[in-house]
């Protein structure tokens, strides 16, 4: 099986922490030149130093905030003029937890902008290079909520579903050009977002964060949370040559927790 990314240029969003950072490091390990994308320039510079670098690899970064899609568009368009990008990992922190009925309408608009609209700008800027190379991998890191909505994540459930449908549509449109579009659906993964969710649920239930964590693990068939590296492995596989005929799928990485087929 060929998992090498040697000679490939990858753009990895949300790459200074959690799943995004683990993905960027593993892609560099597999030979890709990686452009990190996140808000904080100090964190980007720190992560850049952690990326493995062999002969021929050139890593870089873009400091952009997804709350400003137009600025993101200008920066990614500039990058596309400079290099041919073969792999795009769309990965953005999810909306704040809360009930859908209690969410302000503007919360849905803001989340839609930061997720789907920014994803669209990124793909439109990079897709011509993928077409020219006859090799493209677009992987969207979303959520198992596209298969079964998660309680207490009303805005996130809504927006993640929109991104999944957008990706499935793109998969059919871009497939003839050697470009695949897939979604990775992380389950409960040891990230800062999960820690925040644990504390929110513990507060709502009037129990300790430790007890809430124990209860959440108990409901997972694997009886534990995923590591960011385990999710990154799935993303990297879908980004490689051996995944050329896998297109338009939702791949849960959740220890068997999703209660649907």
How far apart are alpha carbons 36 and 23 in whole angstroms?
A: 10
Domain count, the chain: 2
pLDDT at 93: 87
Percent of the chain with pLDDT strictly greater than 70? 100
Q: Assess if residue 258 is contained within a domain.
A: no
Residue 125 sits in the same domain as residue 202: no
Residues 236 and 1: beta-carbon distance below 8 Å: no
Same domain, yes or no: 77 and 196? no
Measured between alpha carbons, how far is 143 from 242 in angstroms, rounded to an integer? 24
pLDDT at 41: 98
- Decide if 31 is inside a domain: yes
Q: Are residues 214 and 231 in the same domain?
A: no
Q: Are residues 131 and 170 in the same domain?
A: yes
Q: Name residue 13's beta-bridge partners.
A: 37
Q: Which domain holds residue 56?
A: 9-187+227-253
- Tell me whether residue 244 is in a domain: yes
Given a cut of 90, whether residue 94 has pLDDT beyond it is: no
The CATH number that applies at residue 80 is 3.40.50.720
Q: Give 100-146 as a DSSP string.
A: GGGS-HHHHHHHHIIIIIHHHHHHHHHHHHHHHHT-EEEEEE--GGG
pTM attached to this predicted model = 0.96
The pair of structure tokens assigned to 226 is: 């995923």
CA triplet 17, 18, 20: central angle to 5 degrees?
80
- pLDDT-derived band of residue 193, with 50, 70 and 90 as boundaries? confident
Contacts for 87 with CB less than 8 Å, ≥ 6 apart: 5, 8, 9, 10, 11, 27, 32, 136, 137, 138, 139, 239
Residues 166 and 64 in one domain: yes
- Any domain includes 3: no
pLDDT reported for residue 38: 98
Residues 90, 210, single domain; the answer is no
Q: Could you tell me what percent of the chain has a pLDDT over 90?
A: 94
């Amino acid at each position: 099986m060929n998992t090498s990314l040697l000679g490939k240029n990858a753009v990895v969003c949300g790459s200074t922490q959690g799943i995004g950072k683990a993905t960027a490091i593993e892609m560099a390990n597999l030979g890709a030149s990686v452009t990190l994308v996140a808000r904080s320039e100090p964190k980007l510079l720190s992560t850049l130093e952690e990326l493995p670098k062999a002969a021929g690899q050139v890593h870089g970064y873009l400091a952009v905030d997804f709350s400003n899609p137009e600025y993101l568009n200008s920066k990614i368009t500039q990058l596309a003029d400079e290099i041919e990008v073969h792999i795009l990992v769309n990965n953005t922190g999810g909306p704040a937890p809360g009930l859908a009925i209690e969410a302000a309408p503007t919360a849905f608009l803001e989340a839609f902008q930061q997720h789907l609209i920014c994803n669209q700008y990124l793909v439109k800027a990079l897709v011509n290079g993928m077409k020219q190379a006859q090799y493209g991998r677009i992987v969207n890191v979303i959520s198992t909520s596209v298969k079964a909505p998660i309680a207490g994540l009303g805005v996130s459930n809504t927006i993640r579903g929109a991104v999944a449908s957008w990706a499935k549509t793109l998969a059919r449109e871009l497939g003839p050009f050697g470009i695949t579009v897939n979604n990775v659906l992380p389950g409960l993964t040891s990230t800062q977002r999960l820690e925040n969710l644990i504390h929110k649920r513990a507060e709502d239930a009037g129990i300790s964060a430790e007890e809430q964590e124990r209860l959440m693990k108990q409901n997972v068939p694997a009886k534990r949370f995923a590591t960011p590296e385990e999710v990154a492995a799935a993303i990297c596989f879908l980004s490689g040559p051996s995944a050329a005929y896998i297109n338009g799928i939702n791949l849960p990485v959740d220890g068997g927790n999703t209660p649907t087929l």
